[in-house]
Structure 1
């Protein structure tokens, strides 16, 4: 029965992912998660499935680390359910106070990600969360930030993984994805 419920929740999530052709450039089919956010049952299904996974596989998680910007949508909800903290990984220049940053390469540009220097303590057990895993550049940079902070990275959580782009292979930790496209 539990497997039926899981399949039902995954179907509900999938029904609320909108494919947008030729966005942001010609030839790309963008996976839009905004319809998930509009439908409370679909959003609850995402958080329920993440919560079940974390409680089963990573019960000692101490922090959820969300990536800008869509990791900010799911991460705080999950952290609140788990009764743990949430911290932000943002684009360079967006956080106050002392920060730690790392540069990385996107498909067509370079970028920097940063975290507040005191956001993660050495040895803290963390899970990273984002909406989508494509080439893995942003999640890899976030993992590098966690290593710089001497955190114990337990894994990454994503709503959608684009399997053809092999982003999970570039990450130093396991990835749990709800949907694989």
Structure 2
């Protein structure tokens, strides 16, 4: 497969419901953050939960063992999920960052925000040809960063195997904007 060839559709294997329960039990809701009228769901307590976070990572590892070859974390809250999962599985971790944060050479992918554009970057040499990559982030909202990350993995020669998020904000329609060939799983839908 080359970077220009679409990745195959993979069979979606449901995640254990206990994973979503762990996220819910360690999530805080903060009204009016970052702006008035927004209810922010903070997942930081999960990362600080010691043994529960370790159990969460072990359960994810058991689910994905043998199905992926690498894990890509999206800046910034995808990193504390991707790094321990990669360590637990003994797999490479690929960083996908906001523009200007990685030393070159990099590939850049622009995406639309509500009133502007933004960019994500990857060091393409960190992705092996035909490597099956699990992409991890905290939230799926509009799908902009998700699509950018999928495109970056594929342009680097890898296969975007699956996109995993802790939470999906369904009213923003991000899942519908993702390519059908990439499986998407959310532990919670809000």
The match for 2:58 is 48
- What is the distance in 2 between the residues matched to 1:152 and 1:9? 25
Of 6, 22, 41 in structure 1, the residue corresponding to residue 32 of structure 2 is 22
- What is the distance in 2 between the residues matched to 1:119 and 1:81? 19
1:113 aligns with 2:120: yes
Of stretches 112-121 and 42-51 in structure 1, the one that deviates more from structure 2 is: 42-51
SS at match of 1:118: helix
Whether the 8 Å CA contact 2:19–2:187 is kept in 1: the answer is no
The match for 2:97 is 90
The match for 1:32 is 42
More contact order relative to length (CA 8 Å, sep ≥ 6): 2
The match for 1:177 is 186
Whether the 8 Å CA contact 2:175–2:184 is kept in 1: the answer is yes
C-alpha offsets along residues 129-179 of structure 1, whole Å, 9 cap, x if unaligned? 011111111111001111211211111111111122221121121111212
Whether the 8 Å CA contact 2:22–2:56 is kept in 1: the answer is no
The match for 2:137 is 130
The match for 1:65 is 72
The match for 1:148 is 155
Gaps of 5+ in 2: 1-15
The match for 1:3 is none
SS at match of 2:187: strand
Gaps of 5+ in 1: 1-5
- What is the distance in 2 between the residues matched to 1:42 and 1:169? 32
- What is the distance in 2 between the residues matched to 1:36 and 1:121? 31
TM-score, structure 2 as length reference: 0.84
The total of aligned residue pairs comes to 173
Whether the 8 Å CA contact 1:9–1:42 is kept in 2: the answer is no
SS at match of 2:125: coil
